[in-house]
Amino acid sequence: MKTLLRVTAILETGIGFALATAPSKVFLVLLGSPLEAPGGPVVGRVLGASLVSLGAACWFARGDAQGQTDKGLIAALLLYNIAAASLLGYARIGLLLPGLGLWPAVILHSALAVWCVACLRTTRQLGSGS
C-alpha cells in the first residue's frame, strides 16, 4: 500500500504541475488537441491543482499505518483510476481523438486500478484474520 501511495503521489503531482503550468501543451500531447481559450486553460490549471492535491494526500499518507483512512484513500483512488481509464478510453475509441498519450494513460490508470483492488483485498484479508 505504501508503494502504491508513493507511486501515485509522484505521478499525479508531476502531471498536476505540468497541467498547472502548461495546460494546453499537456492536452495537446494527451488528447491531440489544444485547450480553447480563455476558459480551457483555467480548467486545465484547476485540474492540475487537483492532481497536485491528490498527490500530496498520497504522499503524506504513505507512512501511516494501514487503517480506515488508508482504505478510504485507496478506495477513492480506485474510483478515480476507473473513471480516468474509462473517460480516456472513450476519448480515443468513441471520440476518435488522436492524442499520443491516450493509450499509455488508459493502460497506466487501468494498472493503478488493479493495484488499488489488490491493496484493498490484502487489507481486507489482514483485517479479517485479526
The tens digit of pLDDT for each residue in 52-64 reads 999 999 999 887 7
User: What is the percent of the chain with per-residue pLDDT over 90, rounded to a whole number?
Assistant: 75
CA distance between the termini of the chain: 18
Q: For residues 9 and 89, what is the distance between their CA atoms, to the nearest angstrom?
A: 23
- H-type alpha helices, 1-130: 2-21, 23-31, 39-61, 68-93, 102-128
| Sign of the alpha-carbon torsion through 13, 60, 109, 94 | negative
Q: For residues 37 and 42, what is the distance between their CA atoms, to the nearest angstrom?
A: 9
The per-residue pLDDT for 108 is 97
For 33, the 3-state DSSP assignment is: coil
Indicate if the pLDDT at residue 128 is higher than 70.
Answer: no
Indicate if the pLDDT at residue 130 is higher than 50.
Answer: no
The tens digit of pLDDT for each residue in 64-104 reads 766 777 888 999 999 999 999 999 999 999 999 999 999 99
The per-residue pLDDT for 127 is 61
Quickly state the pLDDT bin for 28 (edges 50, 70, 90): very high
Mean pLDDT for all residues in the chain: 90
Q: For residues 66 and 126, what is the distance between their CA atoms, to the nearest angstrom?
A: 10
**Residue tagged 500500500 (cell numbers):** 1
